[in-house]
Structure 1
Amino acid sequence: MDDSPEAAAPQKRRRGLGALLVDLSPLRQSPAFARLWIGSSVSQIGAQITIVAVGLHIYELTQSTLAVSLLALWALGPMILAGFVGGALADAFDRRRVALITAVVGWASIGALTLIAFLGVEAIWPYYALAAVNAASATIKGATQGAILPRLLSPQLLPAAAALSGITMGLAVTVGPAVAGVLVATVGFAWTYLLDVLLFTAAFFGIFTLPSIRPEGARRAAGLSSVVESLRFLRRAPNVRATFVWDLIAMIFGTPRVVYPAAGALVLGGGPVTVGILTASFAVGALLSGLFSGPLGTVRRQGRAVTLAVAAFGVCTALFGTVLLGTGAAEGVASPQTPIVPAIVLAGIALAGAGAADNVSAVFRTTILQAAAPDDVRGRMQGLFYVVVAGGPRVGDLLAGAVATLIALWAPPLLGGLVIAGVMLVLLRTARGFQRYDAHRPAP
């Protein structure tokens, strides 16, 4: 942990309205964290710009939705591999150096993407390959930075730091796609990618100014045995393991985004505009919950908080499915030209609630993972976290698509949300060890 006076300063109790707002103490008490957070905040907006721009670019080159969807498939394998490899690297070498090298690789991949766009390359495989390299480098960098944060902040500030990270992602997901759409339409793909190249340089500001951060305790070579050892640790770490399992349950059964296009075209109306509203609603909910996350830092039973937050996520997801069911039954078939505004508003509110609950769950899951995992295995646990984040939603997309095809559009969110809420209520009574997890005495 940072031994600077700022990091060691005691946390002041906040009162009144200030206690409801996001706690900025991590930014004040650890200048290193503040620089890292600012750099990540700026660079993640650029990352979201590129994600959207690449999809639009592939579609313009191919006129194929399938070709666009293959972008995620191309990136999935490298991201999963990078999660395991990156975690092992973070537990074997200076974490500052690992983060810096992978940042350079990611920046170079975006630079190459910009170059081929300016050259007018129309073959799609270079875009797939560079997007995969960028996704893999971002995974390693993210896992490494996740292992760095507990060395910069005291344990009581980790929830606030996680909330600040949630705000960063909420802003990036809200602002990035909008900026990408405007830039692609006005200045073209190459200049849009170039903006990400410029924004990405902010990440170097945060990483380069970090001190050397070597893993504490026994270190192993970054090989297969290191990965196997981390899985053995997970078997005897029920609280850390629960954070992954609870998240997988939420993502596998509560990922209804594949029904958004059909919902906009056939049920709610409004077409692409409605799809944009539904997508943005989830991000806005997450952002608002981050802005009003002040009370989260006072919660001691963080395992119970995770369970309740995931249950709330399931309820909100089920409410979204209920809106689809009720609208479809009452109105029949809508069209993109005739949006059903009240239903769209209700669906947006339900998804905003789901986004808020998901962010609260993420704050506590991240805090437990960072505080409870020993430093010598923390990088590998962060890498596994990225594997779960990469794989879970893809499985959820597949399940939601299958259920929607077999039953109806309302079925994936309604049935999946009820499953999530039901499972969480059972775990609330049966997983007593995780429910008793105490933030003041973190144990893996």
Structure 2
Amino acid sequence: MDTRPLGVAAFRRIWLGQTVSNIGVGVTVVAVGQQVWELTHSSFYVGLLGMANFVPLIVFGLWGGAVADAVDRRKLLLAGSLIAWVSTLFILIQALVGMDNVWLIFVAVALNSTGFAITGPTRGAIIPRILTPELVPAANALNSLVYSIGAVAGPMIGAVALANGGFAVAYGVDALLFTASLYAALRLPSLPPLGEVRRPGARAVAEGLRFIAGSPVLMMSFVVDIIAMVFAMPRALFPELTDVSFGGSPAALGWLNAAMAIGSVAGALFSGWVSRVSRQGVALVVVITVWGLAVAAAGLADSLWLVVTFLAVGGVADVISSVWRQSILQLYAPDEMRGRLQGVFTVVVAGGPRLGELRAGATATMFGLSGAWVGGGIACAVTVIAVGLSVSGFRNFRAHQATAPR
């Protein structure tokens, strides 16, 4: 793994802060899904958590990206981080007092998603400002490792917290660990906007969307990710699978939630070769096809360890896809538009899995657990091949073309 970006102090602090705070996020992901399942015993309601995340992501992701192009990005990162932290305290309080109200949980999740929708584009737009262009792909691989570490350690810690202390302990861990991210944002230098500043609003957002629409490569990098997440993300089905197949074991739930991230950690740790791949359009289609087939295989497995293994294979493919897509976007966009494009990226990357969770929960209600899981993975593989290879600009895209327009 290329660790040169960690030699830059500002990036190192952001990276370490995110590493710690994302463990807490992973704890909450497990706890909130399980709490909704215990309150409703419905995978559809667990899937609705995805919509509670997705709606604020659309609104505040696009708006937050536009604001990130017009204000000091350090101040905006702090503001978004504080909103996310308040939401974590809110969900902790509801668990402490035993409200047991699924709609209050949805409100807390939506508030947290609002904070993430602001910080995600802002943080993504900061990276090319504090690093030289040649370090950006390595930085994205390191950031993928951050999210993967959180998604591995978080569910494991969450399983222990649920088994020994309940929901309040799990949410308390998240609230405590999130302070590391706040500290990292505080230590950033001032990052005022560069180039032409547009007033945040519908016009600024529309400019970013037109920029994407005018680039088949950028557009397809979003489309293939939406296909991957909407068709094949099985996370909303984990509580039901745990209850049906593994006796409701918190440990099994932790392993299922951590499985894809285990693969992502492995993929990120050995990601040095990723920057040497030239035909990244075709390569993205290949790795997303692998992701879909791995998810389908996990749905056919009859033991916990086989499910975990196949999901981990999918995680390897997913992290490689993420590094390529993020690097193309960050290097392709001029600085005065990076926030807006990162806003769209955040909506797609974070919103896609939420729509996938809703799809999984709804189809499980109609077609059963296996049909929703396996069918989604196969549909992903077939669709991404058909769509991804149909656009010649994307199919023939070479890595060196990412830095062309300025």
What's the TM-score bracket when you normalise by the shorter of the two chains?
Answer: 0.7 to 0.9
- Residue aligning to 1:374: 334
Query: Shift of residue 63 of structure 1?
Result: 5.7
The TM-score normalised by the length of structure 1 is 0.80
In the alignment, structure 1 residue 27 sits paired with structure 2 residue 1: no
* Correspondence 1:199-210 to 2 at 5 A: 199-210=177-188
Q: What amino acid maps onto 1:272 in structure 2?
A: G
Query: Shift of residue 119 of structure 1?
Result: 5.2
* Correspondence 1:58-77 to 2 at 5 A: 62=39, 65=42, 70-77=48-55
Change (3 A) 1:402 1:195: closer
* Correspondence 1:30-429 to 2 at 5 A: 30-57=8-35, 62=39, 65=42, 70-115=48-93, 117-118=95-96, 125-260=103-238, 263=241, 269-273=245-249, 274-321=252-299, 323-324=300-301, 340-341=302-303, 344-401=304-361, 403-404=363-364, 409-426=369-386, 429=389
Q: Measure the CA separation in 2 of the matches of 1:230 and 1:167.
A: 28
Q: Measure the CA separation in 2 of the matches of 1:125 and 1:315.
A: 35
Query: Shift of residue 389 of structure 1?
Result: 2.8
RCO comparison, higher one (Cα < 8 Å, 6+): 2
Q: Measure the CA separation in 2 of the matches of 1:52 and 1:410.
A: 21
- Residue aligning to 1:18: none
CA contact (8 A) 2:295 2:310 kept: yes
Percent sequence identity over matched residues? 39
Change (3 A) 1:115 1:282: closer
The TM-score normalised by the length of structure 2 is 0.87
Q: Measure the CA separation in 2 of the matches of 1:253 and 1:390.
A: 14
Q: Measure the CA separation in 1 of the matches of 2:294 and 2:209.
A: 33
CA contact (8 A) 1:100 1:208 kept: yes
CA contact (8 A) 1:303 1:437 kept: yes
The number of aligned residues is: 401
**Deviations, residues 370-392 of structure 1 (Å, cap 9, x unaligned):** 11122111111111122223432
Q: Measure the CA separation in 2 of the matches of 1:109 and 1:126.
A: 11
**Deviations, residues 299-324 of structure 1 (Å, cap 9, x unaligned):** 23322322221122123233334x35
Change (3 A) 1:257 1:345: same
Instruction: Give structure 1 stretches of 5+ with no counterpart.
Output: 1-21, 325-339
Q: Measure the CA separation in 1 of the matches of 2:130 and 2:195.
A: 17
Change (3 A) 1:425 1:187: closer
Q: Measure the CA separation in 1 of the matches of 2:247 and 2:215.
A: 46
Query: Shift of residue 248 of structure 1?
Result: 0.9
Q: Measure the CA separation in 2 of the matches of 1:440 and 1:215.
A: 27
Instruction: Give structure 2 stretches of 5+ with no counterpart.
Output: none
Change (3 A) 1:31 1:301: farther
Query: Shift of residue 402 of structure 1?
Result: 5.3
Q: What amino acid maps onto 2:141 in structure 1?
A: A
Instruction: Kindly report the root-mean-square deviation, in angstroms, between the aligned alpha carbons of the 2 structures.
Output: 2.8
Q: Measure the CA separation in 1 of the matches of 2:174 and 2:48.
A: 22
Query: Shift of residue 275 of structure 1?
Result: 5.0
CA contact (8 A) 1:258 1:401 kept: yes
Find the residue that maps to 2:397 and give its secondary structure. Answer: coil
Q: Measure the CA separation in 2 of the matches of 1:436 and 1:63.
A: 48
Q: Greater shift after overlay, 122-131 or 225-234?
A: 122-131
